Amino acid sequence: MGALHNGHLQLVATAAQKSDSVIVSIFVNPAQFAPHEDLDKYPRTLEKDIEKLERIQIASSSQSAIPIAVFAPSVAEMYPRGISTHRGQQKGTFVEVLGLSEMLEGGTRPHFFRGVATVVSKLFHIVMPDYAVFGQKDIQQCCVLRAMVQDLHFSLELVVAPTERDRDGLALSSRNVYLTQEQRNQAPAFYRGMCRARDLYQSGTTDREELLAVVRDEAKKGALDIEYISLSSPDTLEEVDKVSSESGAILSGAWRMGSTRLIDNMLLGFAF
């Protein structure tokens, strides 16, 4: 979607370790927006994004520079029949991963993962990559796309890179710039709660309520306006009563700080 930060640039670095060339897709996807979400206000910083990518190439020029290409299509190219943010008015072909898209984030943004799956499937068909790198921060997106790759038999490997964080643990996000200084100081409380839950899990605790309780405790200390805290199955995203010894679980949540909505997650007992 653009507005690249160091988390995005780390995805590029991960891709460069897997391949001898990298294509970075930058596209503000209208299908991911609902009518009440202001598509027009989403930041579009293509020139600055390209400058950041050029600096990556310059930084690696002392070794063997990895070619980086930018794929920045127009809306007309990606949606030749047009696209509306009103789902009932949309025409054309769409991809929807049923059973996963409705969970967690899908509860408040039912349109979102349909838009993601559709545009990413188009991207895969156009670019035909060997590897596709996504960030763990958007864990539900990773789960949805993993299922789509399996179901539609895409010949590629989906790579999930760890979440990039600031020194205090806050996950890097384009939305962090909207936080006041006080909100920015409070925001890492959710990560601290997840770390406490991880430590409990590693000491032998698998019970849902015990793990979520410590996250809630830290969130309360940070005065976070919690939207949800989840312990879910990596396969179905359904809520679980305990962390499975076989498949593990995803600890995740969303919260608001003023008008800014943040998300984060931690993997317990498994890795992508």
Domains of the chain: 6-161 (3.40.50.620), 174-268 (3.30.1300.10)
pLDDT of residue 38: 73
Asked if residue 56 has pLDDT above 90, the reply is no
* Active site positions, annotated: 8
Closest CA to 214 of 178, 259, 266: 266
pLDDT of residue 86: 85
Q: What is the pLDDT of residues 1-28, one digit of tens each?
A: 778 999 999 999 999 999 989 999 999 9
Asked if residue 35 has pLDDT above 60, the reply is yes
Closest CA to 242 of 191, 197, 190: 197
pTM above 0.85, yes or no: yes
Separation of first and last alpha carbons in the chain: 23
Asked if residue 61 has pLDDT above 80, the reply is no
Give bridge partners of residue 249 from the DSSP assignment: 268
Q: Which of these ranges, 31-40, 125-134, 193-202, 255-264, has the smallest mean pLDDT?
A: 31-40
Q: How far apart are CA 68 and CA 247, in angstroms?
A: 36
pLDDT of residue 64: 67
Asked if residue 250 has pLDDT above 80, the reply is yes
Q: Which of these ranges, 34-43, 82-91, 109-118, 231-240, has the smallest mean pLDDT?
A: 34-43
pLDDT band at 201 (very low <50, low <70, confident <90, very high): very high
Average pLDDT over the chain reads 93
pLDDT of residue 164: 97
Amino acid at 91: K
pLDDT of residue 88: 86
Q: What is the pLDDT of residues 100-151, one digit of tens each?
A: 999 999 998 888 999 999 999 999 999 999 999 999 999 999 999 999 999 9
pLDDT of residue 60: 56
Q: What is the mean pLDDT of residues 190-216?
A: 99
**Crossing angle of helices 189-202 and 208-221, rounded to 10°:** 150
